[in-house]
Chain A
């Protein structure tokens, strides 16, 4: 850092002295280095200001000073160009991520529909076919009853999965009811003890409730996969102008600062969640201690009206 600053000051001095393109190329290379060393745009502004104050000769005429400031401005712009390049990259990525989330939501709808309606219709024709066999082959009737029982189970599971994927309850009865339904299903499959608490009068926009539903859904998946927990508590509270959602488990926990806890390693689910939250101005924090469980806290700005 120290060295970079020294080099930056020297290069700016060259630029002010009229070295032209070669000092601009240096400004670019220094900016590129600053970027890879983790400096931000504001650090660059501060560094420039400091170097300029040190580099402007005091005995120059206003005309000379104006020329030098102009050279300095080009130098500064040049040292920021690498930041512009990455900035464009991040912007593109964010747009792509948002698009991906929308596509994902449509895809989920499609799968839910296929599970519920199409598979349901196929099952209905299987029932009809079974009835025919039973009519033509009376001795098989008892076995066929067993098969029907199994088919009933399959139908029930498909329906439940389809509702969890794209819960119509969410639209009809609201977030809390949808989360209770989801928790029931996860509890039945995994043996987790799950509680869902919150204000049932919450008036949330469809975007907000879908986002929270997806977040809790992802959190349940993470708990099931990694936490070795027996219990999960979900609470949703409306505090002042924010909505606070907490998902807390009593599992093994993990070291949040460790490399494997970094967002890139935690799967696409978490990245998607961050983006969904960003688009609502929300934030997410993970609190975990080894051996003492994990709490995921979501805060989203929300006023008590449907416009949110």
Chain B
């Protein structure tokens, strides 16, 4: 039942495609609509970061299963300049959100799992997971 999609992210139209994929999969797995919205929100934020900092990259959306739990993993990766200071990027108020808790810290709060790796040579990879409630 593993369903997988890779969406290249270059422009705002691609963000829509990625959200669409995420939402479709969420509906297919029986996510409540609030959680589908949260997932779409997270995808928007990750895609936004790709376009803003790396110009282009891709988003992978895949269903996951662990025991009797099902969920969705989203991987956002780019070959951009990388985040030089990860702990700073994870602080509320860093970058454009100005202390409102948007951006990566906001994404982390909405998801069940969050993982970030980044360096100057390999770009940035954010992996998030949301389980079905």
Contact = CB atoms under 8 A, between A and B. Distances in A.
Interface stretch (B13-21, B51-59, B125-133): B13-21
B98 interface: yes
A90 B101 contact: yes
Contact of A25 (B19, B100, B105): B19
A172 interface: no
Given A36-B100, A86-B100, A89-B92, A28 B44 contact: yes
A78 B37 contact: yes
Nearest to A264: B99
B41 A85 contact: yes
A32 B23 contact: no
B4 interface: no
Contact of B19 (A21, A35, A93): A21
A255 interface: no
A21 B109 contact: no
Nearest to B13: A22
Task: Decide if the interface of chain A is mainly helix, strand, loop or mixed.
Answer: helix
B16 A25 contact: yes
Contact of A89 (B12, B15, B34, B101): B101
A148 B108 CA distance: 60
A82 B48 CA distance: 13
A86 B37 contact: no
Given A86-B106, A88-B109, A22 B16 contact: yes
A85 B109 contact: yes
A35 to B, nearest CB: 6
Interface residues of B, number: 26
A84 B16 contact: no
Give the interface size bracket for A toward B: 20 to 34
B38 A81 contact: yes
A28 B109 CA distance: 17
A276 to B, nearest CB: 22
A140 interface: no
B92 A24 contact: no
B83 interface: no
A89 B23 contact: no
A307 interface: no
A22 B37 CA distance: 14
A92 interface: yes
Contacts of A32: 102
B106 A25 contact: no
Given A28-B41, A28-B44, A85 B16 contact: no
7 closest residue pairs by CB, A with B:
A89-B101, A85-B106, A81-B41, A21-B20, A88-B109, A86-B101, A22-B16
